[in-house]
Amino acid sequence: MEIKAVYFVGIGGIGMSAIARYFLSRGIIVGGYDRTPCELTEQLSKEGAQIHYEDNVGLIPVPFRDRESTLVVYTPAIHPADHSELTFFCEQGFEVQKRAQVLGTLTRDYKGLCVAGTHGKTTTSSMTAHLLHQSHVDCNAFLGGITKNYGTNYILSQKSPFVVIEADEFDRSFHWLTPYASVITATDADHLDIYGTEEAYLESFRKYSSLILPGGYLVMHTGLKMKAGVQEGVTVYTYSREAGDFHAENVSIGNGRITFDLVSPLGDIPGIELGVPVTVNIENGIAAMALAQIAGVTADEIRRGMVTFGGVDRRFDFHIKTDKMAYLSDYAHHPEEIRCSLESLRELYRGRRIKAIFQPHLYTRTRDFYREFADALSLVDDVCIVDIYPAREEPIPGVTSALIYDNLRPGIKRQMCCKDEILDVVRQGGFDVLVTLGAGDIENYAPQITKILKPLS
């Protein structure tokens, strides 16, 4: 099939838009549907994509109606039976593929440096991409977030044999990949609406590790529950902040800086400084540097890349940072992600009063992990729980934000609110540090929250 046009159902998704940008960069006609306009869809439109926001077969542009030359890509968050355009393409015999399948095909001609895990994927893969892109090695990259260094989730190289990929376990998407080297950051159970049990979730990671090519590398966080299933000829390393083949020594935290020495079987690198100085990025950085060393990035290039890494939108993303007050937003939506985020804040702001506003993401995740959410959120002084963001799900009887609220530790100041009350909660004050947490639409309130807090900072 000679592809002349690609149509995306769900083009505004972070993973979908990166693939759309790949095809646009190659002069292929790109278009698609999404439910609502957003910053990503507006950017894609400026880059040449033809996008509309109504599920209407009649709105599909003419270039995408030739089934002999059109590839249709859809996100697993949309089911064909629930979408008239997707149903049309399927019934008319178009080539229809999931996003992960297309990503697997596009990256098969490169050496894939993949980052998998329940949390830490986006920051670690973005950091890896930056380390390579600013070095003599360079890379292509399909990322799950907008990097502050490049303002995009897609990096193009005309010369590099490497591609950096965020390997998503949702819907077993990462089983379409064939990594040359992979990091696995964590395997805390998630997406149980897909997997059913923790055992099935762990088995999915074992299966993923078996896809690493002979002669390749697996870099696993120490203490993971999963068992690696690597092929013969794959080198397995471990890493963490304090132990493993790759780890940190001489960690120094203070005056807004974090420095440490990297201990590595591929060559120690002293004098590492984090460009985004939060403690969770020590481990993220160790994993990224491991992949960079495997790819041949030099010690000096790694030092330069680590200190110049600017972070990722919505990942420990500071909107206000002064001596008087800090406000940041974080995409964290799994209990362990929240724990890592809040522990980093506690270490960064010792003795300061920290408030978290959390919007749970998905009824199933809330049902499965409400005790763990409550335990993680209890690390701060003051918690506000917002109504659940449903995303692709229908309500489940008895599953509300109150499940988390009722299980917060005694002594924690707490409240519940609706989305339209978030700004009033912020105006109540009583904190030195505010963090908004969640993968839903709570991020939409960040500009207004910043406007309220700026005069107080």
pLDDT computed for residue 429 by the predictor: 94
Are 323 and 352 a contacting pair, CB within 8 Å? no
Per-residue pLDDT of the chain (457 residues; tens, 9 = 90+): 799 999 999 999 889 999 999 999 999 999 999 988 988 999 999 999 999 999 999 999 999 999 999 999 998 778 777 899 999 999 999 999 999 999 999 989 999 999 999 889 999 999 999 999 999 999 999 998 999 999 999 999 989 999 999 999 988 999 999 999 999 999 987 777 778 898 999 999 999 999 999 999 999 999 898 889 999 999 999 999 999 999 999 999 877 789 999 999 999 999 999 999 888 999 999 999 999 999 999 999 999 999 999 999 878 888 998 989 999 999 888 898 899 889 988 888 888 999 999 999 999 999 999 999 999 999 999 999 999 999 878 999 999 999 999 999 998 999 999 999 999 999 999 999 999 999 889 989 999 999 999 998 8
Domain with CATH 3.40.50.720 in the chain: 5-98
Are 360 and 384 a contacting pair, CB within 8 Å? no
pLDDT computed for residue 285 by the predictor: 98
71 beta partners: 6, 95
What CATH code would you report for 107-308? 3.40.1190.10
Residue 9: which of 28, 38, 33 has the closest Cα? 33
Domain with CATH 3.90.190.20 in the chain: 317-456
pLDDT computed for residue 277 by the predictor: 87
Residue 312, both tokens:
């990722």
Tell me which amino acid residue 365 is: R
Residue 360: which of 379, 328, 383, 344 has the closest Cα? 383
Cα 391 versus chain centre, distance: 16
pLDDT computed for residue 188 by the predictor: 84
Are 284 and 186 a contacting pair, CB within 8 Å? no
Note the maximum CA span of the chain. 64
Task: Enter the pTM of the model.
Answer: 0.83
pLDDT computed for residue 192 by the predictor: 75
Q: Helix, strand or coil for residue 69?
A: coil
Of the CATH numbers 3.60.15.10, 3.30.200.190, 3.30.70.2740, 3.40.50.720, which one belongs to the domain with range 5-98? 3.40.50.720
11 vs 76, 123, 377, CA distance in Å? 12, 22, 33
Residue 246, both tokens:
């790759």
pLDDT computed for residue 317 by the predictor: 87
pLDDT computed for residue 393 by the predictor: 87
- Exposed, middle or buried: residue 421 (CB in 10 Å: 0-12, 13-18, 19+)? middle
pLDDT computed for residue 316 by the predictor: 82
pLDDT computed for residue 337 by the predictor: 86
Kindly state which CATH superfamily the domain 317-456 is placed in: Mur ligase, C-terminal domain (3.90.190.20)
pLDDT computed for residue 62 by the predictor: 95
Spatial neighbors of 398 by CB under 8 A, at least 6 apart, are: none
List, in sequence order, every beta strand (DSSP E) within 354-412. 354-358, 382-386
d(CA 382, CA 420): 19
Tell me which amino acid residue 131 is: L
